[in-house]
């Protein structure tokens, strides 16, 4: 047994050997994965969106998933969040196997996970500040003043200090995403999931959001999984990038290695102007 | 509530699965009363729903009830006039409205105005991933969204039903006075005389039951929405149709339970 495996077990992390192997196989010297997929299968009818998928993401790592539309990138995030259940295989999050958790346990685990949905998913009848405050209010551990302070700090962190009283319908797409970002980080989650955080944004706002992802990842030491089409952004901020096609990762590697990959699918994302449509 | 992937199955299995989910949702919503009363957010939603269901439907309910009372009185009056029994119109109207038409009309109005809105709102929230976002914040969507609606409709439906009956009686009395030569006060006095307490409470119970059906069906259908804007439209239509069917079937069984056995 390797030293990494012993360390993981010594740390009291409940992982099976398969999961540890998956973590070691894909992350080199790291241990204790925050997220671990072991042979996960997921299909919608005849379409396989997760085909014997095995990978892991470490605490503090920024893991980007890239791939053509409709290949199951968002499904990966929903499997991690327990919003979908795999048809086969195991999804382990923060040492817990999701399929073994009761609804209550899953609900408790989710409080350690932040999720930035593609459209923001803010409640339209609440202001941005009320949306950000919602998880804290619902869990009822803090006083109103403490909640207010936390909300203002989170809004300031995403550059929305003076926009808290606006409603989602009154703000731009970029502000909406940043407010949703603030809501996702308000409880200092150990895992952050981002579904297309820069889609539909202008390049400047996309860069701002990318920078925020990196900043939050560093500041909170959270395991971050970013689903994106934006290869340039992923190359800039990710620790590792995975390219998903037909339910499987074609490659999982560092940005440097991805840049040098000669896989046609990767090349099509790196140099879209030279790409034949059949590769995408 | 966990989002569980739909399993394939036959029509009967799908129907019973949907029925089971709806009953579960109704029970969870009813058990959510402490949250409705104690949580500020839920109280606000509850107040908004009380207003929407009660005050928001009042103009429609007034017009529908007024004309229903007038039409019933006119039709019955034509028949009873042949036997010089015009006053019997008040007797019949009292029975019809308190026992059946009051709660039925209230149910139809609520299904059309409120149930469709509930299905559309929750359906849109589902499509926009707001329901999933609530789950990710460890907020139970049933407790947060359905419970305030359920308790608001349970309170407002009987009140609205009672109001509908009163307006229909006034409409009937007006037609009785102008078309059938029955004095207004005599018409009203006859209604009050023949009305039984049992008719009133069975009618109010029916209205509350219809409200619970409408809320349960509309929210269930809303939560099950898929396929974007078209899916929201389909959910809205389904919510109204299923609610109508539930109102009709529920009305029959309640009547049978209280007046036949």
Strand ranges of the sheet holding A223-228, from the earlier edge strand across to the other edge: A113-116, A191-195, A223-228, A62-66, A240-245, A248-253
Q: How many CB atoms lie within 10 A of CB B230?
A: 10
Residue in the block written with tokens 């038409």: B101
The answer to whether residue B65 sits within a structural domain is: yes
Nearest chain A residue to B132 by CA distance is: A83
Cα distances from B192 to residues A230, B196, B197, B255, in angstroms, run: 73, 8, 10, 21
Class of domain A3-112+189-274: alpha beta
In whole angstroms, how large is the CA radius of gyration of chain B?
A: 21
β-bridge partners, A37: A55, A91
The answer to whether residue B12 sits within a structural domain is: no
Instruction: Please report residues of A whose CB lies closer than 8 A to that of B129.
Output: 117-119, 121
Which structural domain range is residue B72 located in? 19-259
- pLDDT class of B4 with cuts at 50, 70, 90: very low
Report, as an integer, the average pLDDT of A205-229: 87
Contact flag B138-A134 (C-beta cutoff 8 Å): no
Percent with pLDDT over 90 in chain A:
38
pTM check: above 0.80? yes
Residue in the block written with tokens 């804290």: A136
Q: Tokens for B29, please give them.
A: 């919503």
The answer to whether residue B149 sits within a structural domain is: yes
The answer to whether residue B14 sits within a structural domain is: no
Q: Determine contact, residues A113/B138, Cβ cutoff 8 Å.
A: no
Query: Which pLDDT score is estimated for A211?
Result: 87
- pLDDT class of A19 with cuts at 50, 70, 90: low
β-bridge partners, A62: A224
Question: The dihedral of CA B140, B37, B113, B99: what is its sign?
Answer: positive
Report, as an integer, the average pLDDT of B48-74: 94
Instruction: Give the whole-angstrom CA distance, residue B134 versus residue A224.
Output: 20
Contact flag B5-A118 (C-beta cutoff 8 Å): no
List all residues 6 or more positions away from A278 whose beta carbon is below 8 Å from its beta carbon: none
> Taking an 8 Å Cβ-Cβ cutoff, which residues of chain A contact chain B?
78, 81-85, 103, 106-108, 110-111, 113-115, 117-119, 121-123, 134-135, 137-139, 183
> How many residues are listed for chain A in this entry?
280
Contact flag B4-A123 (C-beta cutoff 8 Å): no
Question: Where does CATH 3.40.50.300 sit in chain A?
Answer: 3-112+189-274
Residue B239 or A278, more confident: B239
Q: Within its chain, how far is the Cα of A126 from the centroid?
A: 25
Nearest to A119 among B4, B39, B129 (CB): B129
Instruction: Please report residues of A whose CB lies closer than 8 A to that of B41.
Output: 134, 137-138
Q: Determine contact, residues A34/A57, Cβ cutoff 8 Å.
A: yes
Query: With 60 as the cut, is the pLDDT of residue A26 above it?
Result: no
The answer to whether residue B76 sits within a structural domain is: yes
The answer to whether residue B80 sits within a structural domain is: yes
Quote the mean pLDDT of chain A.
83
Query: With 50 as the cut, is the pLDDT of residue A15 above it?
Result: no
Q: Determine contact, residues B147/B32, Cβ cutoff 8 Å.
A: yes
Query: Which pLDDT score is estimated for A247?
Result: 85
- pLDDT class of A262 with cuts at 50, 70, 90: confident
- pLDDT class of A106 with cuts at 50, 70, 90: very high
Domain count, chain B: 1
Render pLDDT for B93-138 as a digit per residue (tens, 0 to 9): 998 999 999 999 999 999 999 999 999 999 999 999 999 999 999 9
């Amino acid at each position: 047994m390797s030293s990494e495996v012993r360390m993981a077990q010594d740390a009291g992390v409940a992982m099976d050997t398969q999961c540890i192997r998956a973590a070691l196989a894909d992350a080199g010297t790291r241990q204790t994965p925050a997220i671990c997929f072991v042979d996960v299968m997921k299909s919608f009818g005849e379409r396989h969106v997760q085909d014997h998928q095995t990978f892991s993401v470490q605490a503090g790592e920024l893991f980007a998933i890239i791939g053509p539309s409709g290949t199951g990138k968002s499904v990966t995030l929903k499997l991690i969040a327990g919003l979908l259940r795999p048809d086969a295989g195991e999804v382990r999050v923060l040492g817990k196997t999701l399929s073994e958790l009761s609804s209550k346990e899953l609900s408790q685990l989710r409080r350690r996970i932040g999720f930035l949905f593609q459209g923001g998913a803010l409640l339209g009848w609440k202001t941005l500040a009320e949306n950000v405050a919602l998880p804290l209010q619902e869990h009822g551990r803090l006083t109103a003043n403490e909640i207010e302070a936390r909300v203002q700090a989170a809004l300031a962190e995403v550059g929305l200090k003076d926009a808290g009283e606006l409603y989602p319908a009154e703000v731009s797409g970029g502000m909406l995403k940043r407010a949703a970002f603030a809501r996702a980080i308000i409880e200092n989650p150990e895992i952050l999931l981002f579904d297309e955080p820069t889609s539909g944004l202008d390049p400047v706002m996309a860069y701002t959001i990318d920078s925020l992802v990196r900043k939050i990842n560093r500041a909170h030491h959270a395991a971050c999984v970013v689903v994106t089409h934006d290869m340039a952004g992923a190359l800039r901020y990710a620790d590792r990038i995975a390219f998903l096609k037909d339910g499987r990762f074609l490659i999982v590697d560092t940005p440097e290695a991805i840049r040098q990959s000669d896989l046609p699918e990767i090349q099509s994302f790196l140099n879209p102007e030279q790409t034949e449509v059949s590769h995408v | 509530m966990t989002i569980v992937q739909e399993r394939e199955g036959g029509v009967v299995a799908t129907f019973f699965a949907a029925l089971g989910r709806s009953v579960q949702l109704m029970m969870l919503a009813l058990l959510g009363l402490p949250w409705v009363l104690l949580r500020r957010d839920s109280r606000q939603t509850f107040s908004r729903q009380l207003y929407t269901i009660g005050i928001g439907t009042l103009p429609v309910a007034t017009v529908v009830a007024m004309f229903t009372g007038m039409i019933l009185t006119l039709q019955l009056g034509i028949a009873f006039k042949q036997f010089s029994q015009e006053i019997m119109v008040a007797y019949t109207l009292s029975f019809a409205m308190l026992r059946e038409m009051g709660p039925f009309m209230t149910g139809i109005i609520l299904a059309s105005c409120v149930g469709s809105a509930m299905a559309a709102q929750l359906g849109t929230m589902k499509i926009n991933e707001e329901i999933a976002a609530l789950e990710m914040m460890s907020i139970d969507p049933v407790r947060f969204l359905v419970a305030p609606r359920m308790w608001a409709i349970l309170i407002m439906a009987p009140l609205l039903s009672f109001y509908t009956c009163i307006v229909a009686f006034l409409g009937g009395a007006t037609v009785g006075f102008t078309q059938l030569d029955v004095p207004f006060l005599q018409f009203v006095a006859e209604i009050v005389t023949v009305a039984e307490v049992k008719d009133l409470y069975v009618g109010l119970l029916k209205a509350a039951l219809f409200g619970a059906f409408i809320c349960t069906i509309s929210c269930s259908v809303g939560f099950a929405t898929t396929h974007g804007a078209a899916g929201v439209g389909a959910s809205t239509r389904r919510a109204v149709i299923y609610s109508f069917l539930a109102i009709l079937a529920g009305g029959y069984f309640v009547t049978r339970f209280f007046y036949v056995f």
